[in-house]
Amino acid sequence: MLKGFLGRREHEERVRAEGRLPPGQSLTQKFPVLHYGPTPRYQDLSQWDLRVFGLVEEDKAFSFEDILAMPKARVTVDIHCVTRWSRFDTAWEGVLFRDFLEYVDVKPEAKYVVAHCEYGYTTNLPLETMLEDDVLLAYHYAGQPLDPEHGYPLRTLVPQKYFWKSAKWLRGLEFRADDKLGFWEQAGYHNEADPWLEQRFARRW
């Protein structure tokens, strides 16, 4: 046990020295399940849709089939949870957010996006962040449809932020001129959520 622990610690120190592991994080080979509230269990997706509203020329609703018909992208990224675990080389498939916007007429004054999810969960990000090269509306992980616990059927993937900004069970995208704090942000989590700056909390208790 001690030998194995030392091996993992040495590996983690080497990875950290290479500049890949953010401060305060530890590597894991697992994919921990962390979220607030119950897990949605869909029997079918015939009534499921993704609503787009706010600062758009026209409110729209997309079926899951609509999402699947959009150009598919694959990204392999490291992910970092505010609870201090990181996992490297995670493989996702879905629609690049910037490609998704080809189907939406966003007004020029829109600067922020709020993700609306099942059970009222929300999280907020600048539109500029959502346009990064590796931001997805993701529906596959490791070559398979998302597990219910990880956001089936659709979630956002925003790997440059702590993972609570990657919203599970996505049901709506609201475009806004002003920022609006989401669920965890209102509870005191940092609005920027940069793992390299350890932006975990906006205030300390």
Neighbours of 78 (CB within 10 A): 17
- Two structure tokens written together for 146: 């998302």
The pTM of this model reads 0.89
Give pLDDT tens digits along the chain (205 positions): 444 444 556 656 666 556 799 999 999 988 877 666 789 999 899 999 999 999 999 999 999 999 999 999 999 999 999 999 999 999 999 999 999 999 999 999 999 999 999 999 999 999 999 999 999 999 999 999 999 999 999 999 999 999 999 999 999 999 999 999 999 999 999 999 999 999 999 965 4
CA 96 – CA 115 distance, rounded (Å): 15
Domains of the chain in start order, with CATH, are: 23-30+47-197 (3.90.420.10)
